[in-house]
Amino acid sequence: MTPDPAPRLAHSGTAAATDDATVTSSAVTGGEPGSVATNRAATAAQARGSRQPHAILPLRLRSALVLALVSLVGLAAYTWPFFLTPGAALDNSHGSDAPWFFVALLPLLVAVVVAEISAGGIDAKAVALLGMLAAVGAALRALGPGAAGLEPSFIVIVLGGRVFGRGFGFVLGSLTIFAGALVTGGVGPWMPFQMFAAGWVGLFAGMLPRCHGRVELAMLAGYGAVAGLVYGGLLNLWFWPFGAYSPEVSYIPHAGLGVNLHHYAVFWATTSLGWDIPRGLLTGLAVLVAGRPVMAALRRAARRANFG
């Protein structure tokens, strides 16, 4: 049982032994060199004020690359009906195989991204915070009428991503959906798609430009509204190709990008837009109302937990 090598310290970002004045002073009193783990990061964070996000799972170049590539495939998982070339391998007579192909592929992709972001280990504080916020989100999903289009857990995902950074936002988004599905016994083929979309919601929330005060709140509210709307639009896409509702709103293989886009737009407008718009507006409104105290609470927690 040897103690961990030093690099773990640097990763956890909480405690780095330093050789500063206190060492010398205790050395003078004759004790062993005894200064342990000072942490100026927290005070520095306080001095920085609330503007600087407390990035917990920072995206390194490698994880960013993996995330970008995987997101590309993820995007294809939603939007393939617009791009499927006639005669392609996925373009068979059934027409409904491609969605199942992606249902099978996406969990692997999510696993790869999350493993990559957490490579090198996540320290206990980050795991606990991640778990708790995902629990809050999952509880909100269980309480709120998630199926009817409302997605109250978006507040947690958006604000969590904003405060704790991109990598954390992505993992939080996917984990919230995952835990929510497990808690309510709602694991289904839609789950990988939801996990990806919610992960993006958290990711982009962490990538928004830096600003503060009312501007920040307005920006987040606007982002929440857009995210709520786009989330609905994307999620319809996974089951859209299954339907043969009527030729004018259905996915028609080989019909080309323009036709299918138009069909989908009509489909969206006539079916779920009535849910998606209120969802977007409510998410935006909720962020506007609860954003300030929630972000203050998250930042206070980050300070107390001494993340840097």
**Which of positions 48-87 make contact with other proteins (CB under 8 A)?**
62, 65-66, 69-70, 72-73, 76, 80, 83-87
| Residue of 233, 198, 223 whose CA lies nearest to 288 | 223
Upper half-sphere CA count for residue 205 (Cβ side, 13 Å): 40
Nearer to other proteins, 195 or 209 (CB): 195
3-class SS of residue 219: helix
Separation between Cα atoms, residue 66 and residue 45, nearest integer Å = 29
Select from 198-206, 226-234, 247-255, 273-281 the region that touches other proteins (CB under 8 A). Answer: 247-255
Binding residues for other proteins restricted to 200-219, rule: CB under 8 A: none
Shortest distance, CB of residue 241 to other proteins, whole angstroms? 12
CA dihedral over 268, 272, 276, 277, signed as positive or negative? positive
Matching residue, tokens 């993340």: 307
**Considering only residues 64, 125, 217, 218, which one is a binding residue for other proteins as defined by CB under 8 A?**
125
Instruction: Tell me: does residue 249 bind other proteins (CB under 8 A).
Output: yes
**Considering only residues 56, 109, 234, 237, which one is a binding residue for other proteins as defined by CB under 8 A?**
109
| Residue of 85, 76, 148, 142 whose CA lies nearest to 109 | 76
Run of H or E including 54 = none
Nearer to other proteins, 209 or 244 (CB): 244
Binding residues for other proteins restricted to 254-283, rule: CB under 8 A: 262, 266, 269-271
Separation between Cα atoms, residue 100 and residue 82, nearest integer Å = 17
3-class SS of residue 17: coil
Binding residues for other proteins restricted to 153-182, rule: CB under 8 A: 171, 175-176, 178-180, 182
Nearer to other proteins, 189 or 222 (CB): 189
Separation between Cα atoms, residue 177 and residue 18, nearest integer Å = 41
Shortest distance, CB of residue 209 to other proteins, whole angstroms? 26
